[in-house]
Amino acid sequence: MAVDASHLYWTAIGEGVIYEANLDGTNPQAIISGQSGPWGVAVDASQLYWTNPVAGTIWAANLDGSSPHVLLALQDNPAGVAVGGIPGPLLYWANTDGGSNGTINRANLNGTSSSAIVGGQNAPADVAVSSASVYWANPNGGTVNQANLDGSNPHALFANQNAPFGVAVGP
């Protein structure tokens, strides 16, 4: 789920649809359909971003769902996406890889300059970004993790968790 100043956005994986609604829950409507298992969703002032783990892609569209297009292809089971960071903003996501070689990645919002910034993760599943850090969950490893926005100083904040999945960060 993602939130901007006026809407909630969420994916319906089995339906292949991304929905939006007003912040009070009124007027829910499909804005993007025909996707193959849309997963994580993030939003900034003008774009909606989501992952497609099946196809190994990260997509973007206008906030009304128009002009959907692939930003990044050839990803390894991308799950979770976030927008943020200073300087930036940048796009962050997790490539789960299904094992212990998962990565936390970042790119410019147009998909350029893509790189893995943290490696060796145990199937990371979700990401969140603050002004100074990137956070992610490793459900298989039972950890919630943090690193600097450039990927330096990665470490577990919480260990021995029972399959942590979603992460969020506030002010």
pLDDT tens-digit profile, the chain (171 residues): 999 999 999 999 999 999 999 999 999 999 999 998 898 899 999 999 999 998 999 999 999 999 999 999 999 999 899 999 887 899 999 998 877 789 999 999 999 999 999 999 988 989 999 999 999 999 988 999 999 999 999 999 999 999 998 898 887
Q: Do residues 56 and 73 make contact, with C-beta atoms less than 8 angstroms apart?
A: yes
CA dist 118 and 100 (Å) reads 12
What is the reported pLDDT for 74? 95
Nearest to 122 by CA among 136, 106, 134, 140: 140
**What residue spans in the chain does CATH classification 2.40.10.500 cover?**
1-75
pLDDT at residue 87, as a whole number? 78
* Rg over CA atoms, the chain: 15
Write down the CATH number for the domain with range 1-75. 2.40.10.500
Statement: the pTM of the whole predicted model exceeds 0.85: yes
Q: How far apart are alpha carbons 167 and 171 in whole angstroms? A: 14
Q: Which CATH architecture has domain 77-107+122-171?
A: Beta Barrel (2.40)
